[in-house]
Chains A and B, each alone.
Chain A
Amino acid sequence: MSMHPPHQNGVQAGSSPQRPEAPSKLKHYLTGAIILLLLWGSSINTEATLGTLIQGAPNMLDLLREMFPPRWSYFDNIVPAMLETIRMALVGTTFGAILAVPVALLCASNLSRSAWIYQPIRFVLNLVRTIPDLLLAAIFVAIFGLGTLPGMLALTVFSFGLIAKLTYESLEAIDRGPLEAMTSVGASSIQRIFFGVVPQIQAHFMSYVLYAFEINVRAAAVLGLVGAGGIGHYYEVTLGFLEYDKTCVIILFTLAVVLLIDYVSTKLREKLL
């Protein structure tokens, strides 16, 4: 047999002179150590132990068992609250979208006059976006008292932040050609926006509004936990009275509504783009 395995023959003996040094693995070890440290510290800080989880597991199973079968008759009691939830989401999204338009125009660096205008507005917008919806709702409840109004306001502020950011980012990506064309025919700045910007951005804007609506429906379903109206309030009621079969109805109803709205919204967005 003329054939030899390659590592016994055919290759120069010993390592070749230009064979490179293996890169240091210190960085990997260090990263690993830091992550472990973070996890360890976090589990101490949150008192998270496997023991608690195992002890709690039977409770959890009991809870699940008590949720089934769901008490369907409760459905009638929560339909008005669900409608209220959808109304909150709708109103909040609409006002948020209306407010977002001028702010987005001011934030876009290619439409705004100077960095002195758009940088501070962007800064405030970013601050607004750090506050979660439920927190906004809690503050508005403190101001206006219990009810749907604080919920609507919270969703307005929240969707304003979201839509304004997405819109100004796509405003910055528009084609400058039509704008220049409008300037060359002697358009005023309002006319420039109407004929040069709006046609380019409207489909994107509508899809962002629908997206914000999807998120708001989910958010509106839990705002009631801090007293801001909608179906969320009924979680506290039913869980407080340990009526888990009713809680189950709320959860399933919410899931169905959310999925339905997601489906409709996705179809609409597909049509738009």
Chain B
Amino acid sequence: MTTNTTHTPNNTPSTNWRHKITKPKKNRYRWLIYLLLALVYIWAFAGIPLNGIKETAGQITRAIFTGLFSPDWNYVYLPEGEDLLRGLLETLSISILGTFISTAICVPFAFWAATNMSRTRWFSGSGKMVLSFVRTFPEIVMALLFIKAVGPGSFAGVLALGLHSVGMLGKLFADEIENMDQGPTEALLAAGANRLQIMWFAVLPQVLPGFLSYTLYRFEINLRSATILGMIGAGGIGTPLIFALNSRDWDRVGIILLGIIVMITILDLISGAFRKKLV
């Protein structure tokens, strides 16, 4: 401002600056977007069902919280089986096995989808399409279908997790392959190596740490998913939880929730520590 006044002493600064700049025009269609958004929100919020809440809601909430703070400790271990520890162990087993299966399946998919591993973009593009299709397919729906095929139980859960995780893991693995340094591949090619040898000596050593880190990350996600699979009959801690909820056994709900929270927290810490070491 001061420089303006010194250069053009005849004009007062307050009138002068207006010639120099005009307010940038906002996007013309901006108001249309806002209107659309407002309409969507009116539609969405008009549909919130506020009536019909059970009078018992407050009572039950209180009961759940009392249940959380006075859990049914006896349920932790029962000699004749069907207790918390066994349920959690089964959940853990489902996620370990599910993660393993998806890792094994997704490696070829990842090489299919990685742009630097195929000659044509069309080829890797089709691989990416398949992976994103698998990713959008909810694991719980997969579990429902697998229950129809292999019967209810944890095996259906394992298969559902194993298949669903391929979508995300395959994409992450493919990204890892695409970010790889091409130099060693060239060096091996120049030394007279064939395709398999190049894969083994130049590609795998580079991508393996990333693969492992993503696998652990996916394991953390799968562990959470495995806790809910039982709600639809695909094994794990979800089954006793839904029974306890249905029979309003709040103390048992409390101990199961506590068990899930503790298990997930501990395993997140362990897996996170391993992942830090890998990078």
A positions within 8 Å CB-CB of B? 38-39, 41-43, 45-49, 52-53, 55-57, 59-60, 63, 84, 86-87, 90-91, 94, 126-127, 130-132, 134-135, 138-139, 141-145, 147-149, 152, 218, 221-222, 225-226, 235, 239, 251, 254-255, 258-259, 262
> Could you say which of B45, B96, B154 has the most chain A C-beta atoms within 10 Å of its C-beta?
B96
Contacts A132-B224, A138-B242, A225-B232; A42 near B96 (Cβ below 8 A): yes
- Docked-complex contact A149 and B136, CB < 8 angstroms: no
* Chain B nearest CB, measured from A112 CB (Å): 23
Minimal Cβ-Cβ distance residue in A for B162: A48
**Contact (Cβ within 8 A) B93 A147:** no
A143–B260 touching, CB < 8 Å: no
Can you identify 25 A-B contacts, CB atoms within 8 angstroms?
A: A42-B94, A45-B154, A46-B90, A46-B235, A53-B155, A60-B145, A60-B146, A60-B149, A86-B44, A90-B40, A90-B41, A127-B265, A130-B260, A132-B228, A134-B228, A135-B227, A138-B241, A142-B64, A143-B64, A145-B53, A147-B49, A148-B49, A225-B231, A235-B144, A255-B133
Q: Are B231 and A258 in contact (CB under 8 A)?
A: no
* Nearest A residue to B58, CB-CB: A143
B: which residues have CB within 8 A of A?
A: 40-41, 43-45, 47-50, 52-54, 57, 60-61, 64, 89-90, 92-94, 96-97, 100, 132-133, 136-138, 140-141, 144-146, 148-151, 153-155, 157-159, 224-225, 227-228, 231-232, 235, 238, 241-242, 245-246, 248, 253, 257, 260-261, 264-265, 268
Interface contact A130-B264, CB-CB below 8 Å: yes
| With A56-B149, A59-B149, A149-B48 as contacts: A144 and B53 at CB distance below 8 Å | yes
B45 A46 Cβ-Cβ under 8 A: no
Residue of A nearest to B140 (CB): A222
Contacts of B52 in A (CB 8 A): 145, 147, 149
Q: Which of A60, A91, A130, A259 has the most chain B CB within a 10 Å cutoff?
A: A130
Please, how many angstroms separate the alpha-carbon atoms of A143 and B55 in the complex?
10
- Give the contacting residue for A139; candidates B41, B64, B144, B264; CB below 8 A: B64
* CA A272 to CA B96, docked complex, whole Å: 38
Distance in angstroms between the alpha carbons of A134 and B41 in the assembled complex: 24
A149 CB contacts on chain B under 8 angstroms = 48-50, 52-53
